[in-house]
Amino acid sequence: MAEWMIYGANGYAGSLLAREAVARGLTPVLAGRNQKAVADLAAELKLQARHFRLDDANATRQGVEGMSIVVHCAGPFSATSQPMIDACLQNQCHYLDITGEIDVFVAAQSRHNEATEANIVICPGVGFDVIPTDCIAARLKEAMPDADRLALGFDSRSSFSPGTARTSVEGLKYGGRIRKDDKIKTVPLAYQSRDIDFGNGTKHAVTIPWGDIATAWFSTGIDDIEVFIPMAPSAATRLRRLDRLRPLLGLPPVQALLKHLVGRRILGPDSSQREKARTYVWGEAQNRAGKKITARIQTANGYDVTTEGALFAVEFLRQNEPAPGYYTPSRLLGSDCIEKLPGSGEMHLE
């Protein structure tokens, strides 16, 4: 069967994915920017390794040669997704990634026609960003076809991986974001607040710039979308004050310092911590008449969802031949795919 690749295999999420793939008898090619780290992991897992940097277009094209699928795990995806998609288009290789970055989703969707011509699938976000919330969005739209407002959210006490932390630092300079009247709108951090029962009791929650601001629109066509996480009112107040410093936070030296600090201090949760930090995912659709439908599901820890979701997507593409083009996870894998992942419960609508 044709080979597939994990790029960024030596990172936190990439290594989890590589180890679980091997545990299932799969043999992905491991690749990344750090030659020694990738080679060491490949030797440990008895897998092939490749080394190339994404800032060298020719090397990236050659690095992807012979692959049928790439699972791209090396962020920040704002810098790395375009060159990898370029290489996948040139090699007629399906592209998957685990991003949660709004602009990356928008850019990937803009390449739908190129993907169709190259006969490949482009499906970013096949991890916790954004499989659970995308499936909830799709199911709510199925249950309420005339919905014109959508709110999504999740409650997780999981700690960050180094890559997620660096991406979060990068996102500070963009502020908050929502979709309003069919347009992605920049708003202050912690822009809206409300009380939400994510499935484990009612909590104060605020809006965050989550990937569904882009993907849920592609999946549902709903024009007004917000995404929430729990946050104590005092913490939300501090975040709103921090919003005034956004011009400073966006300066390259400040970004570099903050990313360096989080990269040194954050390691990512171990297996025991992931097992204890399950996730509660929620969504609410509303139509013009004011009728509402709510959906909830409990899933495994976000990093375990990312591992399982990426492998689910790989196996789907190895066993099926979907029409080429851009997809969201629910459009490619089905709106019930989150329920098929280990650690997930049943989605409940009310």
pLDDT digits (tens, 9 = 90+) for 52-104: 999 999 999 999 999 999 999 998 899 999 999 999 999 999 999 999 999 99
pLDDT value at position 225? Answer: 98
Say if residue 162's pLDDT is above 70: no
Q: Judge if 162 and 16 occupy the same domain.
A: no
Three-class SS state of 65: coil
Q: Judge if 123 and 150 occupy the same domain.
A: no
Strands 292-299 and 348-349: antiparallel
Q: Judge if 119 and 139 occupy the same domain.
A: no
pLDDT value at position 174? Answer: 74
Say if residue 48's pLDDT is above 80: yes
Q: Judge if 100 and 120 occupy the same domain.
A: yes
Range of lowest pLDDT (49-63, 115-129, 268-282) = 268-282
Q: Judge if 207 and 297 occupy the same domain.
A: yes
Q: Judge if 153 and 210 occupy the same domain.
A: yes
Amino acid, res. 210: W
For 287-340, the pLDDT digits (tens) are: 999 999 999 999 999 999 999 999 999 999 999 999 999 999 999 999 999 999
Closest CA to 126 of 85, 98, 103: 98
CA distance 61 to 249: 34
- Is 339 inside any structural domain? no
Instruction: Judge contact between 38 and 63, C-beta under 8 A.
Output: no
CA distance 125 to 140: 19
- Is 149 inside any structural domain? yes
Return the DSSP state at 345.
-
Q: What are phi and psi of 154, to 5 degrees?
A: -155, 155
With a pLDDT cut of 70, the percent of the chain lying above it is 92
pLDDT value at position 273? Answer: 78
Q: Judge if 150 and 196 occupy the same domain.
A: yes
Q: Judge if 261 and 122 occupy the same domain.
A: no
Which structural domain, as residue segments, surrounds residue 264? 130-301
Q: Judge if 244 and 291 occupy the same domain.
A: yes
- Total number of domains in the chain: 2
- Is 347 inside any structural domain? no
pLDDT value at position 247? Answer: 76
The count of C-alpha atoms lying within 13 angstroms of the C-alpha of 341, restricted to the half-sphere facing its C-beta, is 32
Q: Judge if 53 and 91 occupy the same domain.
A: yes
Instruction: Judge contact between 65 and 72, C-beta under 8 A.
Output: no
Q: Residue 10 is part of a domain; what is its CATH number?
A: 3.40.50.720
Q: Judge if 252 and 309 occupy the same domain.
A: no
Write the CA distances from 318 to 67, 68, 250, integer angstroms.
Answer: 12, 8, 41
Grade residue 249 by pLDDT with cuts at 50, 70 and 90: confident
Q: Judge if 157 and 270 occupy the same domain.
A: yes
The runs of H, that is alpha helices, within 144-221 are 162-172, 212-220
